[in-house]
C-alpha cells in the first residue's frame, strides 16, 4: 500500500480543519481511506446527483482539499495516493459530464462565437432571480450569516483555485492573469488578501473565520461552486474553461458586491465588515476589463481553437451559481435555513 511505509508520518499544519461528517457511500469510503483503511473506493452510483449531490460534492471537495490545506490528523501524502486520484477522477468525470450535458445558454453562433461577445452577453443577461437583490432588500441578520457561511468555502481561499492556471499560461494572457491575482492577494500586503478581508467580515458577524469551520453545514450546491474552479484549475486541458470562469466571475462582480455592501450597512455591520465587498466594487470594474480584453482576448488570439471551451467555462459558472442561488432563495422564501440541519445546531 502506498502509505504503509509512512504510517508514522502525520504532518498537519495548525491551519488544517478537521474532516467533516460523511454524508453517504462516497464520503464514507473516502474518510475511511483517509483514516488508514485500504481497498478500492467506489464510483458514483446512479443516484449520486452529479451537479449538486451532497455526498458526491462533499467527497469531491475533500478530495480537492488535500491539495490545499489538508485535514488535521490526515497524512499529507494522501494528496498523491493513486487510489484517491482514481476515485477523484470518477467524481470529476460525473460532474463534468453532467455540466456539459446541461448545455444551457449555448450561443446560437456555436463554438465559433468570439468568447468576448458571449461573455458580455452572459454578464448582462439576468441568470434568474437575483440573490444579491434579495439579500440587499430582505435578508435578516441570520440570513446574512448564512450567506457568509456558504461563501466561506470559497472566499476563505479566494483566488487560490484560479491560481493553478498561472504556470499553464504565458504571454499577454499570463500578464493579465497575474495583474488580477495580485489584487486578489492584497498586493502582497499581509492581512489584505481578499480571503483575509472575508475573514474579518465573518468575525464581525459573530462567525468563526477558521478555514473549513462550516463545511458540515454546506449543501452540495454550495460545494459545487468551489469544486468547479478546482476542477478547471487542476486540469491543464481545462485551462480555457478556467479563463472563461474567471472572466465571467470578474465581469459579474460589481453589481452584487455593491448590493452586499448595502445589506451589511442596513444590518449594522461595521465599515471593516463592509470592506471585503467594497474593495470588489472598486477593483472589479478594472478586473472585468482586464479579464475580458487581455486575459480572454490574449488567450483566444493565441489559441482560437479553444474559444468554445472559454465559453463553456463561463456558462458552467452561471449554471452552478444559478443552482446555488436557487437553493438559498427557495429555503429563505419558505422560512427555512439554507444550511444543512443538525450539523450546524447553534452555529448561527
Stretch that binds Fe ion, among 44-52, 76-84, 135-143, 246-254 (CB under 5 A): 246-254
User: What is the distance, to the nearest Å, from the Cα of residue 23 to the centroid of all Cα atoms in its chain?
Assistant: 20
Residue 160 as a binder of Fe ion (CB under 5 A): the answer is no
Among 184, 204, 216, 321, binds Fe ion (CB under 5 A): 184
Single out the residue of 243, 251, 236 nearest to residue 285, CA to CA: 251
Chain residue whose CB lies nearest Fe ion: 194
Nearest distance, CB of residue 286 and Fe ion, angstroms: 8
Q: Which three cell numbers stand for residue 243?
A: 479563463
229 and 162 Cβ atoms separated by less than 8 Å: yes
Q: Is 284 in the site for Fe ion (CB under 5 A)?
A: yes
Residue 194 lies near Fe ion (rule: CB under 5 A): yes
CB of 59 to Fe ion, least distance (A): 27
Q: How far is the CB of 158 from Fe ion (least distance, A)?
A: 5
Minimum Å gap between C-beta 181 and Fe ion is 9
Question: How far from the centroid of its chain's Cα atoms is residue 242's Cα?
Answer: 12
SS3 at position 52: coil
Count of positions on this chain that bind Fe ion (CB under 5 A): 5
Grid coordinates belonging to 255: 453589481
Should residue 245 be labelled a site residue for Fe ion when binding is judged by CB under 5 A? no
- How many CB atoms are closer than 10 A to CB 120? 15
CA–CA–CA angle 195, 116, 122 (5° rounding): 70
Please identify, among the stretches 144-152, 220-228, 280-288, 305-313, the one whose residues bind Fe ion according to the rule CB under 5 A.
280-288
User: Which CB, 57 or 287, lies closer to Fe ion?
Assistant: 287
Residue span binding Fe ion (CB under 5 A) among the ranges 132-140, 147-155, 163-171, 242-250: 242-250
All 3 cell numbers of residue 149? 457561511
Give CA–CA dist 285/210, Å, rounded: 30
Q: Kindly state the smallest distance separating residue 104's Cβ from Fe ion, in Å.
A: 25
55 versus 184: smaller Cβ distance to Fe ion: 184
Among the residue ranges 102-110, 206-214, 284-292, 297-305, the one whose residues contact Fe ion (CB under 5 A): 284-292
Q: How far apart are the first and last CA of the chain?
A: 43
Tell me whether residue 76 or residue 196 sits nearer to Fe ion (CB atom).
196
How far, in whole angstroms, is CA 198 from its chain's centroid? 14
CB of 291 to Fe ion, least distance (A): 8
From 69-77, 168-176, 183-191, 329-337, span contacting Fe ion (CB under 5 A): 183-191
Within 10 Å of residue 308's Cβ, how many Cβ atoms?
A: 19
C-alpha cell recorded at residue 119: 461573455
C-alpha cell at 58: 462533499
Contact 306, 295 (CB under 8 A): no
User: What's the burial of 241, exposed, middle or buried (CB within 10 Å: 0-12/13-18/19+)?
Assistant: buried
**Shortest distance, position 109 Cβ to Fe ion, whole Å:** 28
User: Nearer Cβ to Fe ion, position 113 or 254?
Assistant: 254
Judged by CB under 5 A, which of 23, 287, 306, 327 binds Fe ion? 287
Binding site for Fe ion (CB under 5 A): 184, 194, 250, 284, 287
Amino acid at each position: 500500500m502506498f502509505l504503509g511505509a509512512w504510517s508514522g508520518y502525520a504532518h498537519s499544519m495548525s491551519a488544517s480543519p478537521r474532516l467533516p461528517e460523511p454524508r453517504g457511500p462516497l464520503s464514507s469510503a473516502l474518510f475511511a481511506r483517509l483514516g488508514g483503511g485500504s481497498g478500492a473506493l467506489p464510483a458514483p452510483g446512479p443516484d449520486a446527483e452529479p451537479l449538486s449531490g451532497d455526498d458526491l460534492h462533499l467527497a469531491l471537495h475533500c478530495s480537492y482539499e488535500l491539495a490545499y490545506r489538508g485535514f488535521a490528523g490526515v497524512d499529507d501524502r494522501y494528496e498523491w495516493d493513486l487510489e484517491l486520484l482514481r476515485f477523484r477522477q470518477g467524481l470529476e468525470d460525473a460532474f463534468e459530464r453532467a455540466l456539459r450535458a446541461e448545455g444551457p445558454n449555448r450561443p446560437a453562433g456555436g463554438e465559433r462565437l468570439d468568447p468576448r461577445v458571449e461573455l458580455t452577453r452572459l454578464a448582462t443577461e439576468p441568470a434568474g432571480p437575483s440573490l444579491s437583490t434579495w439579500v440587499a432588500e430582505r435578508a435578516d441578520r441570520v440570513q446574512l450569516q448564512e450567506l457568509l457561511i456558504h461563501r466561506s468555502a470559497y472566499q476563505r481561499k479566494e483566488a487560490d483555485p484560479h491560481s493553478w492556471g498561472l504556470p499553464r499560461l504565458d504571454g499577454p494572457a499570463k500578464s493579465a492573469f497575474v495583474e488580477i491575482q495580485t489584487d486578489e492577494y492584497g498586493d502582497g500586503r499581509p492581512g489584505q488578501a481578499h480571503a483575509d478581508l472575508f475573514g474579518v467580515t465573518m468575525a464581525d458577524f459573530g462567525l468563526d473565520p477558521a478555514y473549513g469551520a462550516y463545511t458540515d453545514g454546506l449543501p452540495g450546491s454550495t460545494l459545487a461552486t468551489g469544486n468547479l474552479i478546482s476542477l478547471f484549475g487542476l486540469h491543464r486541458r481545462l485551462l480555457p474553461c478556467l479563463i472563461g470562469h474567471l472572466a465571467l466571475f470578474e465581469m459579474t462582480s460589481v453589481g452584487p458586491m455593491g448590493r452586499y455592501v448595502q445589506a451589511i450597512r442596513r444590518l449594522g455591520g461595521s465599515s471593516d465588515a463592509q470592506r471585503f465587498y467594497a474593495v470588489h466594487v472598486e477593483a472589479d470594474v478594472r478586473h472585468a476589463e482586464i479579464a475580458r480584453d487581455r486575459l480572454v482576448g490574449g488567450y483566444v488570439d493565441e489559441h482560437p481553437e479553444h474559444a468554445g471551451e472559454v465559453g463553456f467555462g463561463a456558462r458552467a459558472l452561471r449554471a452552478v451559481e444559478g443552482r446555488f442561488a436557487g437553493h438559498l432563495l427557495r429555503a429563505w422564501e419558505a422560512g427555512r435555513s439554507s444550511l444543512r440541519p443538525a450539523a450546524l445546531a447553534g452555529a448561527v
